[in-house]
Amino acid sequence: MTVPMSPQVILELSSAIVAGRALQVVAEIGIADCLDDQPRTAADLAAATSADPDALARILRLLEERGVFGRDAEGRWVHTEASRLLRSDHPQSLRAFARMTGTPFCWDALGHLHHAVRTGRPASPGCTRADGSPTLTLIPASAPSSRRR
């Protein structure tokens, strides 16, 4: 196993949250579902998902650097083995998991991780009831369907 140089490890871990969030966003808006076997431009994908073409292209380039999505010789976006796992119809789909990690519940827990390390208590106030028993607030059935897929 090749171990990266120490500065590279620290820099990659420090910025991993950005790539993770980008993955959550493309999973949430359904980019992988819109990208079939035909290459598509960022503008096409943006139009199909009500996204800004330039912002979407930036996020796709960030994910491309990590092996999620690729581009053909003409610069159009194509699937990689990893991006196909974000499709809703893939038999081993990880789209729901990627979307779940972007929920306020998960982000709130990350925001309070320092507290958890210092105290040993749950990182998110939403993790426990007043009596200390664990709880988890799920996305209600009344939420917009894009949040429940």
Output the DSSP codes for 59-102: HHHHHHTTTSSEE-TTS-EE--HHHHTTSTTSTT--HHHHHHTT
Pair (8, 67) in one structural domain: yes
Strands 70-71 and 77-78: what pairing? Answer: antiparallel
- DSSP SS3 for 35: coil
Pair (12, 30) in one structural domain: yes
Pair (67, 20) in one structural domain: yes
CATH number assigned to the domain comprising residue 61:
1.10.10.10
Pair (92, 42) in one structural domain: yes
pLDDT at position 149: 44
pTM: 0.76
Count of structural domains, the chain: 2
Give pLDDT tens digits along the chain (149 positions).
777 788 888 988 888 889 999 999 999 999 999 998 899 999 999 999 999 999 999 999 999 999 999 999 999 999 999 999 999 999 999 999 999 988 877 777 788 888 888 888 777 665 556 665 555 544 455 444 444 44
pLDDT at position 115: 80
Pair (71, 124) in one structural domain: no
Contacts of 50 (CB under 8 A, 6+ apart): 29
Residue 22 structural domain: 1-101
> b/e map of 24-47 (b: 16 or more CB within 10 Å)?
bbbbbbbbbbbbeeebbebebbbe
DSSP 134: B
DSSP 142: T
pLDDT at position 117: 86
Give the end of a domain, one of 101, 122, 140. Answer: 101
| Helix (DSSP H) and strand (DSSP E) numbers for the chain | 9, 2
Pair (78, 147) in one structural domain: no
Residue pointed to by tokens 């800004």: 52
